[in-house]
Amino acid sequence: MVEGFDLGRYIGVFLEEVEEHIGNLEENLVQLERDPENQGLVQSIFRSFHTVKGSSSSMGFQRMMELAHLMENLLDGVRNKNIVVTPSLIDVLLRGVDLLKNIKDAVALEGKEPEIDIQDIVENLKVFLKRREESQSPLETPLVSERKDDSVPGEEAAISPSQKEYLVRVYLALECSMKGVRSYLVINRLQENKVEIVSTTPPLSDLESERFGQSFEIVIRTFLSEEEIRKMVESVAEVERVEIEMREETLEVREEEKEEKQMISTAEQKKTAKSLKKTVRVDVDRLDALLNLVGELVIDRARLGDTIQRLREFKELSHLRDLLADTNTHIGRIINELQMEIMKARMLPLAEVFNRFPRMVRDIARNSGKEVDFIVQGEETELDRSLLEEITDPLIHLLRNAVDHGIESREERISRGKSPRGKVLLKAYQEENSVVIMVQDDGRGLDTGKIRSKALRLGLVSQEELDKMSDREVMEFIFYPGFSTNDQVTSVSGRGVGMDIVRRNMERVNGQVSIESEEGKGTTFYLRLPLTLAIIRALLVKVDGGIYSIPLADVVEIEKVKKENTYWVNKTLTALFRGRVLSLLRLKDLLQSKKAEYFEGETVPEVLYTVVVNAARTMAGLVVDEIIGEQEIVIKSLGSYIGDVRGLSGATILGDGRVSLIVDVPSLLWKNFQMGG
Amino acid sequence: MPGRIMIVDDAAFMRMMLKDILVKNGYEVVAEASNGKEAVLKYEETKPDLVTMDITMPEMDGISAVKEIRKKDPQARIIMCSAMGQQAMVVDAIQAGARDFVVKPFKPDRVVEAIKKVLGN
| Closest by CA position to A537, among listed A341, A336, A308 | A336
Which residues in B lie closer than 8 A to residue A237 (C-beta atoms)? 100-102, 110, 113-114, 117-118
CATH architecture of A7-135: Up-down Bundle (1.20)
Contacts of B6 (CB under 8 A, 6+ apart): B29, B30, B31, B32, B33, B39, B42, B43, B46, B48, B50, B51, B52
Cα A349 versus chain centre, distance: 6
What strands, in cross-sheet order, belong to the sheet with A572-577? A555-562, A607-615, A618-624, A580-586, A572-577, A566-569
Judged against a pLDDT cut of 70, whether residue A161 lies above it is answered with no
pLDDT 10s digits, A179-238: 888 998 999 889 888 888 888 888 887 888 787 878 898 988 888 888 889 988 988 988
Please indicate if any CB of chain B lies within 8 Å of the CB of A1: yes
Which residues in B lie closer than 8 A to residue A178 (C-beta atoms)? 82, 84, 87, 90, 101, 103
Judged against a pLDDT cut of 60, whether residue A392 lies above it is answered with yes
Catalytic annotation, residues of A: 50, 72, 401
pLDDT class for B16, splitting at 50, 70, 90?
confident
Mean pLDDT of A634-653: 73
| Closest by CA position to A522, among listed A424, A421, A377 | A424
| CATH T-level topology, domain A535-674 | OB fold (Dihydrolipoamide Acetyltransferase, E2P) (2.40.50)
pLDDT 10s digits, A431-467: 766 789 999 999 988 888 888 888 888 888 888 888 8
- Taking each helix axis from N to C terminus, what angle separates A62-79 and A119-135, rounded to the nearest 10 degrees? 30
pLDDT 10s digits, B47-68: 999 999 998 888 888 999 999 9
Q: Given this model, what pLDDT does residue A142 score?
A: 36
Nearest 10 degrees: CA dihedral of A335, A341, A343, A347?
170
Cβ atoms B37, B24 nearer than 8 A: no
pLDDT class for A141, splitting at 50, 70, 90?
very low
- What is the rounded distance in angstroms from the CA atom of residue B39 to the CA atom of residue B42? 5
Q: Given this model, what pLDDT does residue A82 score?
A: 82
Q: Given this model, what pLDDT does residue A4 score?
A: 38
Residue to test with chain A: of B87, B107, B109, most A Cβ within 10 A: B87
pLDDT 10s digits, A75-90: 888 888 888 888 888 9
Residue A440 is which amino acid?
Q
Mean pLDDT for chain A overall: 79
What residue in A sits closest to B95 (Cα-Cα)?
A188
For residue B49, the cross-strand partners are none
pLDDT class for A7, splitting at 50, 70, 90?
low
Q: Domain coordinates of chain A in residue numbers? A: 7-135, 154-248, 285-348, 350-530, 535-674
- What is the rounded distance in angstroms from the CA atom of residue A367 to the CA atom of residue A46? 27
pLDDT class for A69, splitting at 50, 70, 90?
confident
pLDDT class for A641, splitting at 50, 70, 90?
low
Q: Given this model, what pLDDT does residue A676 score?
A: 54
Residue to test with chain B: of A172, A175, A176, A178, most B Cβ within 10 A: A178
pLDDT class for A8, splitting at 50, 70, 90?
low
Give the rounded percent of residues in chain B with a pLDDT score beyond 90: 56
Give the rounded percent of residues in chain A with a pLDDT score beyond 70: 83
Which residues in A lie closer than 8 A to residue B91 (C-beta atoms)? 181, 184
pLDDT 10s digits, A556-573: 889 888 888 888 888 888
Q: Given this model, what pLDDT does residue A539 score?
A: 92
Q: What are the two backbone dihedrals, phi and then psi, of residue A478, each rounded to the nearest 5 degrees?
A: -65, -15
Judged against a pLDDT cut of 80, whether residue B44 lies above it is answered with yes
pLDDT class for B12, splitting at 50, 70, 90?
confident
Mean pLDDT of A411-422: 90
CATH architecture of A154-248: 2-Layer Sandwich (3.30)
Give the rounded percent of residues in chain A with a pLDDT score beyond 90: 10
Q: Given this model, what pLDDT does residue A312 score?
A: 83
Which residues in A lie closer than 8 A to residue B113 (C-beta atoms)? 237-238
Contacts of A175 (CB under 8 A, 6+ apart): A3, A5, A6, B107
Judged against a pLDDT cut of 50, whether residue A339 lies above it is answered with yes
Q: Given this model, what pLDDT does residue B8 score?
A: 94
pLDDT 10s digits, A18-61: 888 898 898 899 889 888 888 888 888 988 888 787 777 767 78
Which residues in B lie closer than 8 A to residue A228 (C-beta atoms)? none
The CATH number of domain A350-530, selected from 3.50.50.60, 3.30.565.10, 3.30.70.20, 3.40.50.11260: 3.30.565.10
- What is the rounded distance in angstroms from the CA atom of residue A454 to the CA atom of residue A483? 8
Q: Given this model, what pLDDT does residue A286 score?
A: 84
What residue in B sits closest to A235 (Cα-Cα)?
B117
**pTM, to two decimals:** 0.46
Judged against a pLDDT cut of 90, whether residue A674 lies above it is answered with no
Instruction: Give A 220-259 residues with CB within 8 A of chain B.
Output: 234-238
pLDDT class for A589, splitting at 50, 70, 90?
confident
pLDDT 10s digits, A481-507: 777 544 433 333 444 447 877 887 787
Q: Given this model, what pLDDT does residue A550 score?
A: 92
pLDDT 10s digits, A227-283: 889 988 988 988 888 988 887 544 444 444 444 444 444 444 444 444 445 567 677
Q: Smallest CA–CA separation between A161 and chain B, in Å? A: 25
Mean pLDDT of A528-556: 84
Q: Given this model, what pLDDT does residue B94 score?
A: 92
Q: Given this model, what pLDDT does residue A675 score?
A: 61
Mean pLDDT of A346-350: 83
What residue in A sits closest to B113 (Cα-Cα)?
A237
**Using the beta-carbon criterion (under 8 Å), do A237 and B101 form an inter-chain contact?**
yes
Judged against a pLDDT cut of 50, whether residue B92 lies above it is answered with yes
